[in-house]
Amino acid sequence: MSSTEKKSSAKKPTADYGAKDIQVLEGLDPVRKRPGMYIGSTGLAGLHHLIWEVVDNSVDEAMAGFCTRIDVIIQADGGCRVEDNGRGIPVDPYPSGPHKGKSAAEVVLTVLHAGGKFGGEGYKVSGGLHGVGVSVVNALSTRLLLEIDRGGDRYELEFVDGGKMKGKLQKIGDSPAKGRTNGTSVTFYPDPIIFAAEGIEFVARTVMERLQTMAFLNKGLEVVFSDERAEKVQKVVFQYKGGIVDFVKHLNASKEALFTKVAFFEVEDEEEGMQADVAVQWNTGYYEGIHGYANGISTTEGGMHVEGFKTALTSVLNKYARDKGILKEKEENLLGEDIREGMTAIVAVKLREPQFEGQTKAKLGNVPMRSFVQKATNKALAEWLDENPAEANKVVKKAIAAAQARLAAKNARNAVRRKTALAGAGMPDKLKDCSSGNPAESELFIVEGDSAGGTAVDARDPRVQAILPIRGKILNVERSRLDKMLKNNEIQALITAIGGGVGDEFDASKARYHKIIALADADVDGSHIRTLLLTFFYRQMKPMVEAGYVYIAQPPLFSTEIGKEKIYLKDEVAKAAFLADKPNHKKEFQRLKGLGEMDWQELRSTTMDPMTRTLLQVTVEEAAIADEVMSVLMGDDVESRKNFIVTNARDVRNLDF
């Protein structure tokens, strides 16, 4: 077909396009129209983001030196209340401009990009830089109550139906709290229509983890969490006099520390408005955990502050090892990855105008911060090593052992490539691959056992669904270096089938499937297998987890009948909910002991068919928390693992790493 023919065959617009077609969204309407642009999603992550927006304002008051306590209360009626003893949102009216006559509090709650963080003397450093925080919360709530204490007076302002003001800001009397003359309280009720996908029930653990991190990052700040939904109110107080030193100790609590001391230093450049706090400790494990924060915001993808720290760390440790004669003249320098093996570090910086890369603020882009942190680390860490020779020697010797293991892993990798054609041709014999060559539509089900694998093969769509049976429980990679892992047949099969390599070489863009689905029995053994698989993916193929390629299948644990229709229920919780909804149900419940006992039609309809199945996507929300969870679940500390499982059994439906 010629270009002329193409042009003549194109359809003409069916209606005029003019000024009448341009829609102008005013006030908070843009937030309700496109909530994902402001809070990331309308699922559970977005729901909890509402709390973070309000809490971050209180934390900014703490960083400015005006707030010593923050309370977060999940109320029995479904609302969330955040209160602090900071300065309180200003209540005086604007003297001029488009908002003349309106109180500052009213503007902050109803106008996007309004706040005290764009200049002036209100805040020197701040995490909330876009001025959309509390106004977005208002827009996505059915009701919001703002209470402000200023100079001993209490003011109140209420909003309903997504930010519509119910009356004006009013002074209602004296501040009711003794000793608190200033402060802000925000109580909001998320809109169930906006958050219809996953509901509006806050998850206690998710909130507590975030609040605990905030307390660690703000030395001495008292953060109190209360959950009023149960008969007995749950109350937890987070306050750390050691700040990020306590944070490092907490992250290493489930690991075996190489030594008890924590290296800590803080440096400030008042003229440039930059400050860096760094805490470091090594453990006997094999994975590094460097967690960066900028103005209290978790920079999960690192940035300039983390780059500066890494560069200085490698330089200082190599110089120390040379000066002390531990590394001989003919020996090669230790690589950064060798030195960072088993290291836990917090790099927390504060600066006036942070530049974050991406909408999620996951990476700090301020170039001057790199040299600032690098110089600070060069000086302070060198002094610490000289002052602590016993600890310094342990670090260097561990790094040398890591270098030797790295070379062994390289040889093992090459051996695996030769044996299994890791770099190209040949797939594991037991892999039943799909016919599609498009990774975006291809799915790999990892199934425990040959019996269940056979059923899954019959149940699959062979065009886009591949099946890889694994035998028993794979190696616990939390306790193994890469060279040992690569000798394990099941792990070899996983690496070969998925593609993209392994460890530091892993490239998610080369993965052969964009859905890697762990399909195991709905019992304790199945949970263990899933955890082992997730540990492997998180530690050795982390970019794949970050890309959202890892999922958990949800096979049912029970079945029953309503009339002639068979009903499947995921677990005990689903069974209890079913009985609560149908208290007169008389049919017995059949417990499905394993995937191998289901016929292929049942497995397809309940677990594998995209039209009827439910999958849980594994995500990395907070790197430090994910690192801690993996260490607790798969490390050597049995008591910590038991306590974690017992404490969080109620929230297992929300599997976010």
CB atoms within 10 A of CB 54: 27
The answer as to whether 521 is a domain residue is: yes
Given a cut of 90, whether residue 184 has pLDDT beyond it is yes
Q: What is the pLDDT of residue 330?
A: 83
Domain check: are 259 and 390 in the same one? yes
Q: What is the pLDDT of residue 338?
A: 93
Specify the CATH number for the domain of residue 258. Answer: 3.30.230.10
Q: Kindly give, in sequence order, each residue whose CB lies less than 8 Å from that of residue 205, ignoring residues fewer than 6 positions away.
A: 647, 648, 651, 654
Given a cut of 80, whether residue 108 has pLDDT beyond it is yes
Q: What is the pLDDT of residue 653?
A: 42
The residue among 198, 213, 238 that closes a domain is 238
- Give the CA-trace dihedral at 336, 340, 346, 347, to 10 degrees: -10
Of 234-238, 355-359, 554-558, 600-604, which has the strongest mean pLDDT?
234-238
Strand, helix or coil for residue 39: helix
Q: What is the pLDDT of residue 426?
A: 63
Domain check: are 573 and 550 in the same one? no
What is the domain extent for residue 622? Answer: 421-555+596-651
Between residues 153 and 473, the one the model is more confident about:
153
Strand ranges, E, within 340-428: 343-351, 356-357, 363-364
Strand, helix or coil for residue 472: coil
Residues 482 and 221: their CA atoms lie apart, in Å, by 41
CB 502 within 8 A of CB 540: yes
Domain check: are 470 and 490 in the same one? yes
Domain check: are 167 and 219 in the same one? yes
**pLDDT digit string, tens, across residues 447-457:** 987 777 888 99
Side-chain-side CA neighbours of 12 within 13 Å: the count stands at 3
Q: What is the pLDDT of residue 621?
A: 60
Mean of pLDDT values over 282-299: 90
Q: Kindly give, in sequence order, each residue whose CB lies less than 8 Å from that of residue 112, ignoring residues fewer than 6 positions away.
A: 28, 30, 31, 131, 132, 135, 136
**Domains: count for the chain:** 4
Specify the CATH number for the domain of residue 69. Answer: 3.30.565.10
Domain check: are 344 and 272 in the same one? yes
Q: Band of the pLDDT at 29, cuts 50, 70, 90? A: confident
Token pair in block for residue 509: 């863009």
Between residues 410 and 282, the one the model is more confident about:
282
User: Which residues participate in catalysis according to the annotation?
Assistant: 448, 521, 523, 525
Question: What is the distance, to the nearest Å, from the Cα of residue 113 to the centroid of all Cα atoms in its chain?
Answer: 26
Domain check: are 283 and 317 in the same one? yes
- Alpha carbon distance, N-terminus to C-terminus of the chain: 52
Beta-strand relationship, 69-74 and 222-227: parallel
Return the residue matching tokens 């490390």: 635
Domain check: are 604 and 586 in the same one? no
The answer as to whether 11 is a domain residue is: no
Q: What is the pLDDT of residue 609?
A: 92
Question: What is the distance, to the nearest Å, from the Cα of residue 415 to the centroid of all Cα atoms in its chain?
Answer: 35
Residues 263 and 400: their CA atoms lie apart, in Å, by 20
The answer as to whether 17 is a domain residue is: no
Q: What is the pLDDT of residue 129?
A: 41
The answer as to whether 14 is a domain residue is: no
**pLDDT digit string, tens, across residues 345-362:** 999 999 988 888 865 568
Between residues 165 and 125, the one the model is more confident about:
165
The answer as to whether 625 is a domain residue is: yes
The answer as to whether 325 is a domain residue is: yes
Question: What proportion of the chain, given as a percentage, has pLDDT over 90?
Answer: 41
| CB-based burial label for 22 (10 Å; 0-12, 13-18, 19+) | exposed
The answer as to whether 7 is a domain residue is: no
**pLDDT digit string, tens, across residues 483-493:** 778 778 888 88
Given a cut of 70, whether residue 331 has pLDDT beyond it is yes
Lowest-pLDDT range, 51-60, 156-165, 434-443, 595-604?
595-604
CB 496 within 8 A of CB 417: no
CB 160 within 8 A of CB 188: no
Domain check: are 586 and 602 in the same one? no
Q: What is the pLDDT of residue 622?
A: 53
Q: Report in angstroms the alpha-carbon separations of 581 from 199, 201, 204, 586, 623.
A: 18, 19, 25, 13, 39
Q: What is the pLDDT of residue 593?
A: 67
Q: Report in angstroms the alpha-carbon separations of 536 from 279, 444, 533, 616.
A: 27, 16, 5, 17
The residue among 197, 223, 238 that closes a domain is 238
Domain check: are 477 and 433 in the same one? yes
Amino acid in the structure at residue 368: P
Domain check: are 354 and 433 in the same one? no
**pLDDT digit string, tens, across residues 612-657:** 888 888 876 655 555 565 555 555 554 554 454 444 444 444 443 3
Which residue(s) pair with 92 in the sheet? Answer: none
CB 303 within 8 A of CB 339: no
User: Can you give the pTM of this predicted structure?
Assistant: 0.73
Given a cut of 90, whether residue 95 has pLDDT beyond it is no
| CB-based burial label for 617 (10 Å; 0-12, 13-18, 19+) | middle
Token pair in block for residue 512: 């052969």
Lowest-pLDDT range, 210-219, 457-466, 635-644?
635-644
Specify the CATH number for the domain of residue 623. Answer: 3.40.50.670
Between residues 228 and 115, the one the model is more confident about:
228
Mean pLDDT for all residues in the chain: 83
Between residues 494 and 27, the one the model is more confident about:
494
The answer as to whether 427 is a domain residue is: yes
Domain check: are 431 and 579 in the same one? no
Domain check: are 260 and 339 in the same one? yes
Q: What is the pLDDT of residue 387?
A: 96
**pLDDT digit string, tens, across residues 239-275:** 999 999 999 999 998 888 999 999 999 999 988 889 9
CB 312 within 8 A of CB 267: no
Return the residue matching tokens 């193929």: 541
Q: What is the pLDDT of residue 569?
A: 85
Between residues 140 and 131, the one the model is more confident about:
140
**pLDDT digit string, tens, across residues 512-571:** 999 999 998 877 777 778 888 888 888 889 899 888 899 988 888 888 998 888 888 887
Q: Band of the pLDDT at 16, cuts 50, 70, 90? A: low
